[in-house]
Chains A and B, each alone.
Chain A
Amino acid sequence: MKYQSEFRDAKAMRRQVAAIHDLVTGPWTLMEICGGQTHAIMRYGLDRLLPSEVTLIHGPGCPVCVTPLETIDRALAIAARPEVIFCSFGDMARVPGSRKDLLTVKAEGADVRLVYSPLDALELAKRHPDREVVFLAVGFETTAPTTAMAVRQAAKLGLVNFSLVCAHVLVPPAMRALLSSRDHPIQGFLAAGHVCTVTGYAEYYPLAERFDVPIVVTGFEPLDILQGVYLCLRELESGRSAVVNQYSRAVREDGNQTARALIHGVFRPVDRKWRGMGTLPSSGLALNDGYAAFDAVQKFAMADLVTEESETCISGEILRGRKKPCDCPAFATACNPDHPLGATMVSNEGACSAYFRYRVPHQIEEA
């Protein structure tokens, strides 16, 4: 495929790396927001190609990782009910709650279905009017529009057996929270390209200006990321802090207006708890009052189910960019993808999981 071969081309990557080496003078610390970017950096070893002056730290952009334990526990409790068909993306299937995960609940007899879209869950609701169909809605602004579409259609069809555990979260408020915390190490951002295909990047102008950090909207292929790093360093080296769009083949300044309108028509921003980071202001999406009947947590009276996170895990520090996975004493010992202690190990795209896959110490080796 053209986009893959072109954006994974080793020669082009080497040229970009050389340009970065020529450019860099100072020590710089950049944060890539998205878990997909973290994964690509680890998989292709991009951080090992960069000059030692450049440090990449890994942001909170993995929606699976940041979904709080209590949301998962609520979802599991709803899934276990006999009248429920519980639908989830595959991403969430193995993410453990306090004691179980969705696949375990399924093995115990729950009707759990892995779907590719909330619209698949809506279809199930149409086909099974005698059952309650519940969708676990996770993801950033990228997956929120299809959830919104499913809710709007359910309302239009008058479906009373469809509802959501709504765990959608928003990226810019998390960036603002990171930048507002004292002693944060972030000097530049690689913003999540896919989120920006929906949101555009106008929201980043005030952030870049207020906190004096360059923000480069960046794609996910290795060459995209190296270009993003280059553009971000170019801003830093010349003392600027502009918003730059590296991912112009997919992202427009005003994003996808239709998708944005869908989100705003169905959801409203609310304060939301992020796993490992606490409650961040206006960082989550909840159903508008007009669609409140589709809220599964209310429908099944789960709001009182509250769970606290493990205290031993340092994923909060990792998600804020203060620590790296290897700094954790539990990393790759007590905590691993089969037995994750916290947010960043639970999903493939979490920083700890990416380090485990590609950087467990005995695995580091030059060809």
Chain B
Amino acid sequence: MAEHIAPGGFSCPVPQPPGDRVLLSHGGGGRHMQHLLKEVFFKHFDHPLLAERGDSAVFPSMTDGSLAMTTDSYVIKPLFFPGGDIGSLAVHGTVNDLAVCGARPRYLSAGFIIEEGFPMADLVRIVDSMRHAADEVGAAIVTGDTKVVDRGSGDGLFVNVTGIGEVVVDPAPAPSHIRPGDRVLLSGDLGRHGIAVMAVREGLSFDTELCSDSGPIWPTVEAMLREGIRPHCMRDLTRGGLGAALAELAETTGLDIELDEAGLPVCEAVEGACEVLGLDPMFIANEGRFVAFVAPDQVADALAVMAEAHGDAAVIGEVHEGAGRVRIVQATGLARMLLVPTGTQLPRIC
């Protein structure tokens, strides 16, 4: 598509809106691309560093202490789901990875791989939602990249978000700081994101609409730190859910983590869906929950802060000397060991 041709046959130099759909030319480095950057990305992310249009975002050092940096790429079907979209998910996922390291999210990059023909209105909605998600934690999207691939070579839209955060606690929480006797706190109920997305993707319906838990955990982490709580380690629960996160931490530390099965918060809709589909809520994805390993004398305060953010926050377990296993104590008093599934859980029918 070149310039707009008016009925009289002469060309009109007035820029057109970016159009209904993303075209290959929007990634081609020419005027179409400049137009897309200006009308979609710069407009919605709206940050002076971005407006500089330098090859890098240049900003002053924000701290004498440590910085944290993380990156994550996001692919999800459907792109829009109850409680969020790929844009908010991408920002939440990256800023949550910073937050569990005790880092205040500050600067973010946004990389887009867009399939030719992607609806422009959807792109605008997603970009806008990224801006809001960044605002929620006081972070700014200051640099980015756009590529457009041939129709059929992508799956609508892939997003990558890299984040830099300022570590506000010394030492930063880490698996190596977990100690026997630490209690394990969970910031809310399990499995909402995975089941909400699966429900839309597979056309399952529930009596009550189930929303993803996609959201920022930094406000809760910041409140905990402000109250003087010093978690030894934190981990946000994403793919693989609570089970995979705890199994990995147990293995890394060589310590045993003992969980009280009856104490795991799971809402009725998630529990019901898991029963029907033969899934274990322990291994379903979350996008706004984290576990914190806290010394016994700080448990009550930590739980109070967490519970203010989410009523289902709970103390779910304890760390012991051991052999790097997760033991689940059942209501009958018998214990079993947690075994992480080979890959993604697949719904069972038979």
Contact = CB atoms under 8 A, between A and B. Distances in A.
Given A49-B334, A363-B336, A367-B333, A116 B349 contact: yes
Interface residues of A, number: 42
B336 A45 contact: yes
A366 B350 contact: no
Interface string A107-134: 0000000101100000000000000000
Interface stretch (B41-49, B95-103, B137-145, B323-331): B323-331
A301 interface: no
A181 interface: no
Contacts of A91: 346, 348-350
Interface stretch (B1-9, B116-124, B162-170, B268-276): B268-276
Nearest to B272: A1
B331 A8 contact: yes
A239 interface: no
Contacts of A142: 350
A362 B336 CA distance: 11
Q: From B271, B336, B337, name the one whose CB has the most chain A CB atoms within 10 angstroms.
A: B336
Interface string B262-285: 000000100110010010000000
Interface in B309-342: 325, 327, 329-337, 339, 342
A45 B275 contact: no
Contacts of B64: none
Contacts, number: 88
Given A1-B268, A1-B271, A64 B332 contact: no
Nearest to B271: A1
Nearest to B331: A10
B262 to A, nearest CB: 8
A10 B332 CA distance: 5
Nearest to B275: A4
A357 interface: yes
A161 interface: no
A365 B335 contact: yes
Contact of B332 (A44, A114, A139, A363): A44
Nearest to A348: B348
B347 A63 contact: no
B282 to A, nearest CB: 12
Contacts of A10: 330-333
A358 B327 CA distance: 11
A156 interface: no
B297 interface: no
A338 B343 CA distance: 10
Interface in A11-69: 13-14, 43-45, 48-49, 62-64
Contacts of B348: 89-91, 348-349
B335 A366 contact: yes
A260 interface: no
Contacts of B278: 348
B202 interface: yes
Nearest to A365: B335
A162 to B, nearest CB: 19
A138 interface: yes
Nearest to A3: B275
B337 A365 contact: yes
A45 B334 contact: yes
Contacts of A140: 350
B193 to A, nearest CB: 19
Q: From B325, B332, B333, B342, name the one whose CB has the most chain A CB atoms within 10 angstroms.
A: B332
A363 B334 contact: no
A321 interface: no
A114 B348 CA distance: 10
Q: From A10, A13, A358, A367, name the one whose CB has the most chain B CB atoms within 10 angstroms.
A: A367
A342 interface: no
Nearest to A359: B336
A252 interface: no
Contacts of B335: 365-367
Contact of A45 (B204, B268, B332, B350): B332
A57 B187 CA distance: 41
Interface of A: 1, 4, 8-10, 13-14, 43-45, 48-49, 62-64, 89-91, 93-94, 114, 116-117, 138-140, 142-143, 222, 337-338, 348-349, 356-358, 360, 362-363, 365-367
Given A62-B350, A349-B350, 10 more contacts: A13-B331, A43-B336, A89-B349, A90-B349, A91-B349, A91-B350, A338-B342, A363-B325, A363-B337, A365-B327
19 contacts: A1-B271, A1-B272, A4-B275, A9-B331, A10-B330, A10-B331, A10-B332, A62-B350, A64-B350, A89-B347, A90-B346, A91-B346, A91-B349, A93-B346, A139-B349, A140-B350, A337-B342, A349-B350, A367-B327
The 3 closest A-B pairs by CB, nearest first: A90-B346, A10-B331, A363-B337
